[in-house]
Each structure stands twice: as structure tokens, then as C-alpha cells.
Amino acid sequence: MSNAVPNGVQSVQRGDTPMEVPVFSARNVSMTFGHGKKICRAVREVSFDIADGAIVSVVGGSGCGKSVLAKIMLGLYVPTAGEFFYRGLPITNQHMHWNEVQSVFQDPFSCFNQFFTIRSQLKDAFGILQNKLSKSEIEDRVDAALRAVNVQPAEIEGKYPFELSGGQMQRMLLARIFALRPKVLVADEPTSMVDACVRANILDYLMKLKQELGMTIVFVTHDIGLAYYVSDQIFIMHEGRIVEAGEPDAVALSPQHPVTVQLIEDVPDIHKDWIKR
């Protein structure tokens, strides 16, 4: 079978070496909700390949379909049309899929149960792993993960989610990723609810995840400036379609689609030093 990339497919590679089996492959994938006059076409015939170790940003405004596409990658939604593969195979077992693919969402408080301590929930997260660890190994992994996001274990001992700020809770989400060590992270607007200083820290932690764990990261955001800094490749989404894709310099400096141009224009002037105008 040929390894050529079909026309219309956005291919992402690491360096100059093509990967034979992409982490994610989409072929004319669509996702619709409802029916008749109330039908919502959230994702429309998207096709792409994402290679191992790449950082890919899916950029677009509210309602463009980027979060729905992220949930397809997580196995939370099954496409209503087309084919979607993880490492060459369809996603048929969510539990097995989540052994390797984990997420960070924009609202950390919705990801933690307010009635249990943070540490107990970080430890409970290991229940999803196929290879079971001993209690002492779990404790050590949790401690190491907390230190990886600059939190001393004693700082959160006995604390509940409602006792921490939004920025601290976002770090707890990232600590869970450091602890579980997945192969792929889907980060859906992880910086949208925090201030600029915390946002910079979260981006540093995401880069640390990639460097230390060799992780593939899919970064979902409305901020094309942020995507420009962190990505190997950028996909621009609009009305459920990928309307433009390419390397950050190509997309940001030579945009081809009006939606991309508008996203760039929406970046406040104070942050536009990265655009050579």
C-alpha cells in the first residue's frame, strides 16, 4: 500500500523523517448533531495526519468545531462519517485509548471532584493504566509530578479543589499528566481561564512535557499568536472545516485564507511583534 498522502490531507511530520504510522489520521471525517432543520455540522470532511512527537495547534473562533475534533481524538465522539485512526487503528476501546491519550481542558474545576482531596484524585487516576503500580510507586509518581509543576507535595496535602485558585488547579491537571505519562496530550484551551503570568507558566510546563516524555501534543486554541510560538504545525478551522494548514511561519506571515487573516488581525497590537509587518 502506498504511503503517499492523499490530496487534501494535512500531513504533520517531525523533522525531515516521515512517520509510517501517524499518531492520528483523519479521512473525510464529519461529526453532526441533531437532525432535520436542527442539524448541526460541527466537523465537516476534515483530513489530516499527525506524526509522533509533533506539536499541532488547532486554531479557530468559538463554534468552529475545534473542541469537537479534540473529543474525537480522545475517543469521546465517534465520527458520523469518514474514518479516524489512532496509530493506524480505529478507536474501539476507550479505556485502552486513555492509557496513551490524555487531556487537559480549560476548566480544571470541572475535572476534579470537589468532595475529595486533590492528592487522592491524583492517585486514583492511576486506575486507568493497564500496568498497575504499587502504592509506594504511585506515591512517588505523584510527588515527582507535583514537583514537576513547581508544587511541593506538602502544599496540597489534605486540600480540596475549592481551596486552590484556577491557576493552581490548572497545574494540578498538568501534574496528573506528568504522573500518568501518556504518549499523547490533547490540550483544549488550557490557558484561557488564567492570567498572563500563569499562562506563560502553563506553556512552559507543556514544553517540559514534550521534552521529558517525548509527547505528541494537540493544542486547541483561539489564539493564533500563542499557537505560533509553540507549534510545529497549525490547522485553521472555520465552520467545521480545516481551511488552512502549514508551518507557523507560513500560516502567520503569508496567510492564504480570510479567516486566518482575521485571526491575525484580532491579535492586539501590543502582542504583534511576532508578525513582520
In sign, the C-alpha dihedral spanning 181, 182, 184, 188 is negative
User: Residue 10 above 80 pLDDT?
Assistant: no
pLDDT at 168: 85
Rounded Cα–Cα distance for residues 163 and 198 (Å): 18
- As a whole number of angstroms, the distance between CA 260 and CA 269 comes to 16
The pLDDT value given to residue 195: 64
Task: Write out pLDDT tens, residues 123-139.
Answer: 999 988 888 889 999 99
- The answer on pLDDT for 14 being more than 70 is no
Higher pLDDT, 105 or 201: 105
> pLDDT of 87-131, one tens digit each?
999 999 988 999 999 998 878 788 899 999 999 999 999 988 888
The least confident of 38-52, 148-162, 202-216, 221-235 is 202-216
Burial 222-240 (b: 16+ CB within 10 A, else e): bbbbbbbebbbbbbbbbeb
CA distances from 215 to 59, 63, 87, 135, 272 (A): 20, 28, 14, 25, 29
Cα separation of 23 and 86, whole Å?
5
Order the strands of the 216-221 sheet from edge to edge: 101-104, 184-188, 216-221, 55-59, 233-238, 241-246
Q: What is the reported pLDDT for 1?
A: 36
- The ranges assigned to domains in the chain are 10-268
Q: Which CATH superfamily is domain 10-268 in?
A: P-loop containing nucleotide triphosphate hydrolases (3.40.50.300)
Q: What is the pLDDT of residue 9?
A: 55
Is the pLDDT confidence value at 177 over 50? yes
Q: What is the mean pLDDT of residues 181-209?
A: 78
Neighbours of 265 (CB within 10 A): 12
The mean pLDDT value for 156-174 works out to 89
User: What does the pLDDT read at residue 206?
Assistant: 80
**Residue 253: its pLDDT value, please?**
87
| Alpha-helix residue ranges (DSSP H) falling in the chain | 66-73, 94-100, 118-124, 135-148, 153-156, 166-180, 196-213, 224-230, 248-253, 258-265
Q: Does the structure show a pLDDT above 60 at 204?
A: yes
* Mean pLDDT of all residues belonging to the chain: 85
What pLDDT score was predicted for residue 2?
35
Q: Are 117 and 158 in contact (CB under 8 A)?
A: yes
| pLDDT tens-digit series, residues 64-81 | 999 999 999 999 999 999
